[in-house]
Amino acid sequence: MSRPDFNLLVTLEALLTEGSVAGAARRLRLSPSAMSRALARLRETLGDPLLVRAGRGLVPTPRALELREQVGRLVENVEAVLGSQEILDLKNLVRVFTLGTSDGFVETFGPSLIARVSLDAPGVRLRFLPKLDRKSTSLRDGEVDLETGVVGAMMGPEVRAQGLFRDCFVGAVRAGHALSKGRITPARYADSKHIALSRRGFDGGPIDHALEAALAPLGLQREILTMVGGFSTALALARASDLVATVPDRHTAGLRGDMYSFPLPIPTPEVTVSLLWHPRMDADPAHRWLRGCVREIVA
């Protein structure tokens, strides 16, 4: 029997997390054709198609869903085995870790993450800072130990990324809003007044462009009444007005408890929220432990 190619584990983990050949190729810095060949090898090795065509995208098979979490743990364990052999004494570890993330991530996952970290390492403190841009400057300069977010073109090529979860977008309005009653059609959604999101300040973000592209064939267009730089600000405005905020579902679950949320009536792409760090922290035992804690909490 031939020895299995363990490099395929990394490829499999990227494919299952991203849910697309193009996304996995970008994450591993490979060409789409090379990733397609790797997927073909994985299909042959595992005897399962893993990702199958559904409309314009790919969806995982039941076998792929079974493997996703298991493969993620395996890749993390391999990275730990091949890294430093230093013994980590968590009970006596005294350290402050800085995490760059959004308010929604902190509200949703922060309490459980703090409790998990304190259980293992009472001397460790977590410092949460807002992400100011999509670049990797803070990670490269050591101002931030970990970030969460969507891998983008502006991110430095040296940054390590590991997928945490897939997220879809939903609409959110105040309790009692007109959209909280009855079926929400594309026309009802578009006819409402909306909040756009952009950190750049002068143009809508990727989700706004995706919404425009989905509504245009229907002859519809949203009326953007205001623009903000973050999800928590958008939700605060929607909660106190008749405006509609369109935000990632799981990422903002902790911010929408008193609001009415609804699936969007038009197709929009999912995003992969990833854990990001600089490669100089790969072999740091405490950093590896913290990455494991984050993955455990969001799983």
Q: Are residues 280 and 257 in the same domain?
A: no
Residue span of the structural domain in which 238 resides: 169-269
Strands (E), the chain: 51-54, 57-60, 95-101, 124-130, 146-149, 160-167, 169-173, 193-197, 223-228, 244-248, 260-263, 271-277
Specify the pLDDT at position 135.
Answer: 65
Residue 153 has pLDDT above 60, yes or no: no
Is pLDDT at 7 greater than 90 in this prediction?
A: no
Would you state the pLDDT for residue 286? 93
How many folded domains does the chain comprise?
Answer: 3
Instruction: State both tokens at 83.
Output: 């890294």
Q: Indicate if the pLDDT at residue 5 is higher than 90.
A: no
How high is the pLDDT of residue 1?
A: 46
Q: Do 278 and 160 share a structural domain?
A: yes
197, 205 Cβ separation under 8 angstroms: yes
Listed in sequence order, the residues at least 6 apart from 130 whose beta carbon sits closer than 8 Å to its beta carbon are 100, 101, 102, 103, 230
Average pLDDT over residues 223-246: 93
pTM (predicted TM-score)? 0.65
- Decide if 1 is inside a domain: no
- Strand locations in 55-182, DSSP E? 57-60, 95-101, 124-130, 146-149, 160-167, 169-173
Radius of gyration of the chain (CA): 21
In a domain, 77, yes or no: yes
Residue 97 tokens read as 């870790």
Same domain, 178 and 44: no
Query: Based on the domain organization, do 29 and 50 belong to the same domain?
Result: yes
Q: Is residue 2 part of a domain?
A: no
Whether 229 contacts 251, CB under 8 Å: no
Give the residue-averaged pLDDT of 107-115.
92
Do 279 and 257 have their domain in common?
A: no
pLDDT digits (tens, 9 = 90+) for 79-93: 666 655 567 899 999
**Top-ranked range on mean pLDDT: pick from 68-72, 75-79, 123-127, 266-270:** 123-127
Tell me the two tokens of residue 120.
């293992």
254 plus 173 within the same structural domain: yes
pLDDT > 80? residue 6: no
